[in-house]
Structure 1
Amino acid sequence: MPTYTLHLSDEVDPGAPDALDRAKLVADRFIWPAFWFTALWFFWHRLWLAGLLVLAAEVAAWAIGASLGLSPLAGFVVTLLLSLLIGLEASSLRRWTYERSGRPLRDAVTASDAKEAEVKLVGRWLDRHGPAAPSAPPRMPPYAKTGSPALGLFPEADGHR
């Protein structure tokens, strides 16, 4: 089961339910679209610096392979290994970008999918920081005021049959 991390900006009020609308959830797993599309995946997710670093690494690998005179098969293997590394580290680069932009890691949870992770993180966020507004005292049910030893299963006898 993958681990999901929650990233929120520093100016968020603790326990504010509307703050989670601006939160970013990042799964720590292999990212297949990042494997196939490498730098384009980063640009699609607006991770500009990480995308430029990945693009620079790809160009450098191509230039080194060309200068060494590698065969096309060896060049393909190098490109495949670089794409594998990008797919493995895409979520780490995404978390790094969020840290740099003022959205530090606030929480982490293990879940089977993103929906379950959201439910767990929202529950933790609201429980940890308490409710945003004080709750009303619980209402007493009508049978509790009578002092009857019955548990509410029978109505109070009103004196006549």
Structure 2
Amino acid sequence: MATFLVLIPPGGRPGDERARFVRDRFSWIAFLLPVLWLLWHRAWLAAALAFAVQALGLAAAGHPTLGLAGAGLCLATHSLVALEGPSMVVATLTRRGWTVDAVIAAGDRGTAEDIYDMETPAGEAETRERALLPASETSPRRHAPMLGLVGFKEGR
């Protein structure tokens, strides 16, 4: 089972056709090509930071005594982007005015969309309450941190 976060655009209502489903899981593409993956998802600052850290790791990997540390730094960068990349996408959309409408556990995206459509009948779209993540209730900041744990009280 995977967890999908359903985000609705600014001004949208629950059950909106433009809702975006973000699967919260390890991303192999982000692991293999972290900078390109971040650029594709328009996370410019994170891509620049990942590029700088990887350049530092590659420079250290060429040094005879720091080679293993440089390789470890590159591997850590790849792993962090692969694990936290979907959370970075959600944080970026939230800063742009999108809201998290639902959190759905499903086997695949099609099943998640079916569950979301069943939860939001056509007549009840106005009365449904918005889903709140634990971090949004406790943090005075506009968004949760993007590195490490993303502010969830209970973890993932």
TM-score range, shorter chain: 0.5 to 0.7
Work out which of the two has the higher radius of gyration on C-alpha atoms and give 1 or 2.
1
Higher relative contact order (CA 8 A, sep 6+): 1
- The normalised TM-score by structure 2 is 0.67
- The normalised TM-score by structure 1 is 0.65
How do 1:29-108 and structure 2 match up within 5 A? 29-59=25-55, 61=57, 65=60, 70-108=65-103
Query: What is the CA RMSD across the aligned residues, in angstroms?
Result: 2.7
1:3 corresponds in structure 2 to: 3
Displacement of 1:69 after TM fit?
A: 7.2
The equivalent position to 2:125 in structure 1, one of 113, 124, 129, is: 129
Structure 2: unaligned runs, 5 residues or longer: 127-156
In 1, Cα distance between the equivalents of 2:98 and 2:52? Answer: 25
1:58 aligns to what SS in structure 2? helix
Is structure 2 residue 27 aligned with structure 1 residue 23?
no
The structure carrying a bigger helix percent of its residues is 1
Displacement of 1:114 after TM fit?
A: 1.1
AA at the equivalent of 1:33: I
2:56, 2:70 within 8 Å by CA — same for their partners in 1? no
**% of aligned pairs identical?**
32
Structure 1: unaligned runs, 5 residues or longer: 131-161
Q: What do the CA deviations read for 1:1-38 (whole angstroms, capped 9, x no partner)?
A: 111001112301344xxx32x22111111111111100
2:131 corresponds in structure 1 to: none
1:50, 1:97 within 8 Å by CA — same for their partners in 2? no
Count of aligned residue pairs for this structure pair: 126
2:121 aligns to what SS in structure 1? helix
Q: Residues 99 and 57 (structure 1 numbering): CA distance in 2 closer, same or farther, change over 3 Å?
A: farther
Q: What do the CA deviations read for 1:105-126 (whole angstroms, capped 9, x no partner)?
A: 1111000111111111122233
Q: Residues 76 and 26 (structure 1 numbering): CA distance in 2 closer, same or farther, change over 3 Å?
A: same
- Displaced runs of 4+ in structure 1, greater than 2 A? 45-63, 68-74, 125-128
